[in-house]
Amino acid sequence: MNGEFLRNHWSYLVGSAVRNTLTFGLMALIIIATSSENTANLFWMAAIILVSVVMSVLIWLRTKYYFLDDEIVVTRDIIARKEIRIQYDRLASVNVERDFIYRVLGATKLSFNLNSSVNVTRAEAFIVLSKDDAEALRDRVYARMYGTAPSASVNEPDTDIQTAKDYDSMESLVDVTGVDILLHSFLGMRTWQLLFGMVMLVYSAVSLLESGSVNLLAVILFVVEFFIPALSHFFMYYNYRIVRDGDTVVITSGLFSIRQDSFKLSKVNFVKLEEPLVCRLMGRAILEAEVVGTADKKGMPLLCPLKDKAVCTELIGTLLPEFECRGESSRQSASALFGIVPCMAVALAAVAAVYVLLAGDFSGLYAVLFDGVMALLVIGILGWGHLAFSIRTFAMDDTIALMVTGAFDRVSNYILLDKVQYVDVTTSPAQRRYGTARCTVNMLSTTGNSNIRSGVFDVGSLERLSYEVRDRIIDGRYDFRRFQ
């Protein structure tokens, strides 16, 4: 292509060089520690680093960005020529990211996300510019996304477009403290992950007391499965803020690396109110949204970190009042026990078999720990059966379906009927005798096709869900223009 183009800021090269050096430096340390031929290995490692630097420079030089009247064009011409075209009206959002290196060097990374579920956790294109240029470009792209821009090219200056809004000066819809983020990071994970981390921690302490040395495998599992994910969430969500600008939601968070996500309220498919077991005992919950074309690295934008459940439900009424369900909740049918009881019996039999086979292999504190884990498993299985039957509910009104799922980790799914792709109602022979069934609601999500499976309820109530989705299309209540 000919004409004016933009190129990544020079900080892109610095960031690539630092990341490559850290990666290969770690590999070099491993080689030095495990190999006797250090000189030859380090030579090849230095050659790899040099090649990676040269490739980064070539990519930087040969990647060009054209912001035209109706589309973004990204060209890369190194060995093979690659061209990406993104129309403004197909963009879902333009997200802002500033990691530690970009913050020090005064740069900002803009990520362009399409309104689709393909590669949603990885943007279709990105550009790194100086902070002021990035803010100006973001506003100009937004103007074209929403049809308010004049005909001039985005590459040309235009005084009619307002400067970037200072979202930091706007009041957050939820007051989130550092303590809230700390609790969210270490207690807001799935129950099995939290329990596994605690068991590994206790096992490490027992091995230290029994043998005088820590079990390295237990420590590694604790760090990898519990501590690192919790710490990364703390860094990711620290300084969390959520503001509303018209019908646009802007979420900003991060300690070292700052990320700003924005999306239109009309793009929200369904809302999830998550209550892991420990959080539920504390009266707290987590609020997330499913937005096609917009997602953080976890997969779903976080509307509210771990806070009192009343704060989360109040935020639904303030931010997304159309997702409030006014239908009467129905509890599971007793026929659900035909599926729950056999699962419990098999699990209890497996625990009993393990206890009989391995109980004599442990002594001292290890025996106490083994007995404690077995008892915990039995209590967990019985508790799962009770919760899997008692907490699952179903409710629906003319626009929203509320499906409460899970057992230890309770999840309330607020599903917008106009965003449902299809509903699959299934029943087993035992359930059919009692006129009950399960239903699976399939929706387009950030990771492709997502489905939510209900408990066991009256088949007529579940089939009404699919009929309502169909009827809204037939009688015109469904209007696709609301979601553009």
Q: Is 478 exposed, middle or buried (0-12, 13-18, 19+ CB in 10 A)?
A: middle
For residue 158, the model assigns a pLDDT of 42
Successive 10-residue mean pLDDT values, the chain, 484 residues: 78 83 68 61 72 83 87 84 84 81 88 64 80 86 66 40 57 90 91 88 82 79 88 91 85 86 81 92 91 62 91 90 86 89 93 87 80 89 92 90 91 89 87 90 71 89 88 80 62
Token digits of residue 166: 């200072």
One CATH from 3.30.590, 3.40.1350, 2.60.40, 2.30.29 for 331-484: 2.30.29
pTM for this predicted structure:
0.77
Please name which of 390, 415, 77, 166 lies closest in space to residue 271, comparing C-alpha atoms: 415
Please name which of 444, 446, 420, 191 lies closest in space to residue 302, comparing C-alpha atoms: 446
For residue 140, the model assigns a pLDDT of 85
Which helix (H) or strand (E) segment holds residue 197: the answer is: helix 191-211
For residue 150, the model assigns a pLDDT of 39
Report helix, strand or coil for 394: strand
Q: Is 203 exposed, middle or buried (0-12, 13-18, 19+ CB in 10 A)?
A: buried
Are 127 and 104 a contacting pair, CB within 8 Å?
no
For residue 147, the model assigns a pLDDT of 60
Nearest-angstrom CA–CA distance, 164 and 321: 28
User: Residue ranges per domain, the chain?
Assistant: 11-164, 178-323, 331-484
For residue 152, the model assigns a pLDDT of 38
